[in-house]
A and B are shown apart, each in its own frame.
Chain A
Amino acid sequence: MISSLADLDRVTAAGILARAALSIFDAANPAATPVLSNEQALRAKVIREALSSYGISDHSNDWRERLSDALDAESDALLGPVDDKSALERQALKGDLPSDLYKVIIAPQIAECYGRKFPEEERNIELTVHSPDMEQHYGPPMKPGEPHLISLFAKTFANQFPGRSYLMLVAGERNGLALTVFQAWRLYPEDINLVGAENPLEMLRRFAFAFGHDVTVGDQTGRFIFQVDIPGGRVPVKGVIPPVPGKTRREINVTIFSQKTNNGTRAVLVVGIDLDKYREALHKHGW
């Protein structure tokens, strides 16, 4: 404990130590400017005391480094340890967490969709979440009419053959430091015009229009339903699937994020993707 600061509260004392530490290597940084009226003189006392207490000679080559470390150690002791996990979880709630800190959990239907090629898609999904080219986050339920805790990510995977280059689009729900991925699609520029798509949500909308079928949820029908509120706990879904000559059944993947609200259930990012058509496109592009 630096005795020169003993009469001050711990936060004020930590501020003096931090500004003194900043001034060692970057005296021109405005954050190092003394704030208190007597801080310049106090800083000199603090530095002398730290040099003495920590046995640092200002003739040694590394005295600035050691002094900076000493001042940091003193301010750390005053402020106490930080609860890193809680701080990161708060950021995840807001959609502010660096995305490479998310633990990626992939919903089983995605593995079913990609079959034996799922391991490659699993790597692509993780890379898309951890190193996205674009990301979009809906925060905690504060804004009416918006989903919450939903994140979308997009990443371009370039190939030497332009027809095989694609954009991976991933959508998931945040829960603490985990992200559960419910949608993961490859978007090929040949199949979907992405020009002017400013965010991953718009990319998902265009993908759903290209590869989806109308789905009715509550009182809304469309190939892409951004959000619909439904009283009660169940989300009623109806799909209209046109027949294909020679095929008795098409595989449609209806993906809904269901979120509890005060009045019932909210269905978000609803799409009904024709998986047969999607897989045909994948194979056409060399998948």
Chain B
Amino acid sequence: MPGPVLYSANPWIAHVFATRYRHGIHFAWCSEYFDPTTESSTSAAAAIAPSSSPCGIFHKLKEDCDKEDSHSSLIKGYRKTFKQLAKAWLADASIDQAAYEEIVADVKSSSWKIWRPVLYVIPRKPIEDAGRLKAVRREDRAAFGPELQIVDLAPHEFDIITSPLR
């Protein structure tokens, strides 16, 4: 049975970009289950894809950063997404040219620190009561298991757990 908390695993740089360029408003793809593999096999969690598991994402990102895996598919995907986001934000004028260049330079850089995982821990009830918790459509989910989104998560609405650097 899902608990009162939602979990969202992200690279640290996602939190930085949201804080620095989006007025602190975070986009969070989240799950009711931190580690679906520990849930009952008859629960909805059992149908959640590993690529959508906060625990799975957190540990995979940490491993890829600790070992400086330059072929990490997870980090490659994030790099692409952040570059696409930077272009979209430049086009809608929510960031300027200098900010666009800084985002692109960061994600292209050799920094591993920026990719270390962080976990957003989000009390569910206030978000759900406000109608801001969105169920992701099946065609946009990785598998049959439930996935959720919060598009406008404010800094005071969640706690953040960071992984220690080596």
Contacts and interface: CB of A to CB of B under 8 A. Distances in A.
Contacts of A84: 101, 104-105, 108-109
B87 A75 contact: yes
Nearest to B166: A131
A83 interface: yes
- Report the interface size class on chain A: 35 or more
A79 interface: yes
B106 interface: yes
A107 interface: no
A106 B85 CA distance: 38
B91 A35 contact: yes
A82 B98 CA distance: 10
Contacts of B136: 28
A11 interface: yes
A28 B134 CA distance: 10
A98 B106 contact: yes
Interface string B96-113: 001011101110111111
Interface residues of B, number: 37
Contact of A132 (B89, B100, B108, B165): B165
A15 interface: yes
A79 B137 CA distance: 33
Contacts of B88: 15, 18-19, 22, 31-32
Contacts of A28: 134, 136-137, 140, 149
Interface in A73-114: 75, 79, 82-84, 86-88, 90-91, 96, 98-101
B80 to A, nearest CB: 7
Contacts of B110: 101
Contacts of B102: 87-88, 90-91, 96
A79 to B, nearest CB: 7
A86 B80 CA distance: 21
B72 interface: no
A251 to B, nearest CB: 34
Contacts of B137: 28
A72 interface: yes
A151 interface: no
B85 A14 contact: no
Interface of B: 20, 27, 80-81, 83-85, 87-92, 98, 100-102, 104-106, 108-114, 134, 136-137, 139-140, 149, 151, 164-166
21 contacts: A14-B91, A17-B87, A18-B88, A19-B88, A21-B84, A22-B81, A22-B85, A28-B136, A28-B137, A30-B151, A35-B91, A79-B87, A79-B100, A83-B101, A84-B104, A87-B104, A96-B102, A98-B109, A101-B111, A130-B113, A131-B166
Closest 3 CB pairs of A and B: A15-B91, A131-B165, A18-B87
Given A31-B27, A101-B110, A131-B166, 19 more contacts: A15-B90, A18-B84, A18-B88, A21-B84, A22-B81, A22-B84, A27-B140, A28-B134, A28-B137, A28-B149, A35-B92, A72-B84, A79-B100, A82-B101, A84-B109, A91-B106, A96-B102, A99-B113, A131-B113
